Amino acid sequence: MSTPAIKYSGPVISESVPWETRRHLQLLYEKLGNHTQAFQLQQQQISSIKGGSTTTIIEGGGSSPIPPSTGFLGQGLINDQTGSTGYATAQGDNGILLILNDASPVAVSLTTAAAPFYLFITNFGAGIATLTPSTGTISFPGNPGAASLTLPSGYSAMVSCDSTNWWADTFPTVPVSQTSVAHRWLDSYSASTGSFTTSQPSFSDISGVVAASQIPAPTASTLGGVESAGPTSHQWINEIDTTGVPHLSQPTAADVIPSSSTTSGRPTGIAVGFMDFDTTLGIPIWWNGTAWVNASGVAV
């Protein structure tokens, strides 16, 4: 395939590079050249304003001149207010990065400025920063026309003024990585630090039904799953094996402890035929439903 003839002025690119790749590189070099020229022109304009020149700036190739008083005087500069708990913006803050950094709350008064006016504000301190317009309102996503905007620690915002009201876009802290911890879950997140906290869930935090296969078998010293056993006449549960299965059997006479009492302490509320050994009389007696009788049926 022949290489298309394209006009290009820039760094020499080896002919051994495929023409498609070479063309991409040419376009990149051209864009870089355009950006370099734009930055040089902008720096000249800023230097002219700072030097007291009365030259007006034409933004974006338009036809409306912007007076030097409203140009972005501080573009690329930093206004470090570390340690301050109060600050009022000024015209010279146009285009700057305003740094707030204090453990106590910081109050920032957004002084109404001639448009176009904007600045970036970053809160590095633990104290919450509150941005309040000197006049008008401040609008941000989800809260148009608000009286103020709060910036927690680690948050940034770009605020602009239209000569009357303020407008803002906030940039929250990016969440930090959280390594996996066995048997724990993420239970909270701090929007100001980007950090997660973990804890071990309690039994009440878990819902659903446990499958039979998930229940351990019981042992002599540990609890486990046990099958149900319905009532069976004249039988009792004499064993639950290690698989959780109950076993029933009929008790023998040897399994039953005979009842004994004194004459005055005979049991009550028992069934007909219940036998008791009267330790006062020294004989066995039976309850016939009405009275206690001996083996001959005589009440005793």
Amino acid at the residue 266: R
Check if the beta carbon of residue 186 is closer than 8 Å to that of residue 177.
no
pLDDT computed for residue 128 by the predictor: 92
pLDDT computed for residue 61 by the predictor: 42
Check if the beta carbon of residue 154 is closer than 8 Å to that of residue 173.
yes
Q: What is the dihedral of CA 127, 131, 134, 139, to 10 degrees?
A: -160
pLDDT digits over 111-123, tens only? 988 888 999 999 9
Lowest mean pLDDT among 19-23, 28-32, 141-145: 28-32
Only one residue has tokens 């299965």, namely: 245
* CA–CA gap between residue 269 and residue 289 (Å, rounded): 10
* CA–CA gap between residue 263 and residue 276 (Å, rounded): 10
The candidate with the shortest Cα–Cα distance to 50, out of 68, 66, 62, 65, is 68
For residues 225-238, average pLDDT: 89
Q: In what side-by-side order are the strands of the sheet with 292-293? A: 259-261, 275-278, 283-287, 292-293
| Cβ atoms within 10 Å of 96's Cβ, excluding its own | 21
> How do the domains of the chain map onto residue ranges?
6-52, 70-171, 257-293
The candidate with the shortest Cα–Cα distance to 158, out of 211, 117, 111, 113, is 117
Lowest mean pLDDT among 41-45, 255-259, 261-265, 273-277: 41-45
CATH number of 70-171: 2.60.120
Element (H, E) at 6: none
39: confidence class by pLDDT, cuts 50, 70, 90: low
Check if the beta carbon of residue 286 is closer than 8 Å to that of residue 278.
no
Sign of CA dihedral 218, 219, 220, 223: negative
pLDDT digits over 236-251, tens only? 898 999 888 999 998 8
* CA–CA gap between residue 207 and residue 204 (Å, rounded): 8
For residues 95-100, average pLDDT: 93
For residues 144-159, average pLDDT: 91
